[in-house]
Every structure is written in C-alpha cells, then in structure tokens.
Amino acid sequence: MDLMDCIEFTRRMDDGINPREWGEADLIIVGPSRAGKTPLSFYLGLRGFKVANYPIVIGEDPPPELFEWPEKVIALTIQPERLSFIRQQRMRQFGR
C-alpha cells in the first residue's frame, strides 16, 4: 500500500465519514469527541495504516458498519476530568 493512499484514506474516513468504506480500513478507532482519535488516526496513516475513526455520541446509534469488523475496532478511553478540561479549552477557543 502506498503511503499517500493510506493518508488520503484516513483523511476521507475522519470523524465517522464514509462508513461503507470502513471494510478497507486496517483499524477503526472509536471514542468520545476530543479523545484524540483524529491525531492518532493520522499518526498511524503516516505509518502506512488505513484508519477510520468514529466519535461515540450519547443518544446516537453507531452505524451498523461498525459491527461488521469487530476485529478492526479499537476504543480510546479518557478520564472524564481530562475530557472536560479539553472540551472547556476548545469552547474558549470559539469564544464560548
């Protein structure tokens, strides 16, 4: 696999986009928003992995495609306090 293909695939699969193409992924990273899925995805993409990522959102059912390849799914976790801090900092960037 060409490195540029991996990076482009990872870019196209960021934030839950194109779940019908997740079968081509080497890994599917899931976790809450602001847990570091995108930076990790691109880090791995730069190392030759095709990576998709999906944000877990309370009250939203994940796409069924997520359950088609359980061997590819990796879940990120984060301490609630740290996640809250990161989200507060993000909101400050937007003046909220």
Give the whole-angstrom CA distance, residue 45 versus residue 96.
Answer: 33
Yes or no: say if 34 and 87 are a contact pair by the CB < 8 Å rule. yes
Phi, psi of 9 (to 5 degrees): -60, -50
CA 42/CA 79 separation, integer angstroms:
22
Structural tokens at position 84: 């809250």
Q: What is the mean pLDDT of each run of 10 residues along the chain (96 residues)?
A: 92 95 97 87 97 93 94 91 82 80
User: Residue 65 is encoded by which pair of tokens?
Assistant: 């495609």
At 1 the pLDDT is 63
